[in-house]
Amino acid sequence: MTIALDAFLILLREGLEAVLVLAALAAMLRRAAPERMAVLGLGAAAGIAASLLAALAYWHFLGGEHDDRVEAVTLVLAAALMLWTGGWLARRADGRAWAESLKRPADRALNARRVALAVGAIGFLAVFREGAETVLFIAALDGTAGAIAAGLGVAALLLAATWVVVQRGTLRLPLRPLFLGTSAFLLVMAARFGAAAVGELQEQGTVAFTPLDIPDALAALGLPDSAEAMACFAAILLLALGALLLRRDRPAAAQPAAAE
């Protein structure tokens, strides 16, 4: 029972964040550009394959030891992509931007190559960031295959239910709230990923660690527990919000209708 519970908690903990990111993007794409769902799916599938390969590489070259440098790079790339995509969605949710985009079909904006590549890359990195760790943690469990499989199966069902609930909850939302909600979620996740990258570097001793005494409830939400990581978290959010506010203050005619 203990091994099954361990396997359940590992997959649930590592997979929940990836599922929420993928579900938010999938909900937006299903409403605004359903033909791009395949790109997100391919990115996620590639993330699973890359996770297995990375886990094999860890076992072969590092004896199964987790490499904080690899995760730090992955987190930085994911944060950058989420910032770009979140900002793009926020600009498209602006009424003036939508009015300007009437000069072109709206679906052309959503189908632009850079947007499609960013969506696929986020799907890849969201899964890859968690996947390799999950494989290594599961491989380290000392128990029967049946117990491990039972724990993984229950966690997978719970993650699938989370996916369905999140997507069904957004099906009836108008596009503007859906774009704004997805944008806000991605920007917050970008800040969290940036702070997590600092945490990985702190584990390597590359960045100093100054502990912060934050409430347990906030720590459970993923807020950083060091001054350095918190500074990174706040800086990313402030920069993103500042850039969006400056963009909104520009005349509507000066805003591009789409990401080419």
Q: What is the pLDDT of residue 171?
A: 67
Each residue of 239-259: pLDDT tens digit? 888 776 765 555 444 444 444
Whether 247 is covered by a domain: the verdict is: yes
Whether 232 is covered by a domain: the verdict is: yes
Whether 229 is covered by a domain: the verdict is: yes
Domain count, the chain: 1
Which residues lie below 8 Å from residue 141, measured CB to CB, with a gap of 6+?
3, 6, 7, 10, 148
Residue 45 CA to its chain's centroid (Å): 15
Residue 100 has pLDDT above 60, yes or no: no
Phi and psi torsions of 105, nearest 5°? -60, 135
Boundaries of domain holding 115: 2-254
Whether 259 is covered by a domain: the verdict is: no
Whether 244 is covered by a domain: the verdict is: yes
Phi and psi torsions of 198, nearest 5°? -60, -40
Whether 141 is covered by a domain: the verdict is: yes
Whether 63 is covered by a domain: the verdict is: yes
Sign of CA dihedral 155, 161, 165, 168: positive
Whether 208 is covered by a domain: the verdict is: yes
Residue 49 has pLDDT above 60, yes or no: yes
238 dihedral zone (left: phi>0; alpha: psi -120 to 50; beta): alpha
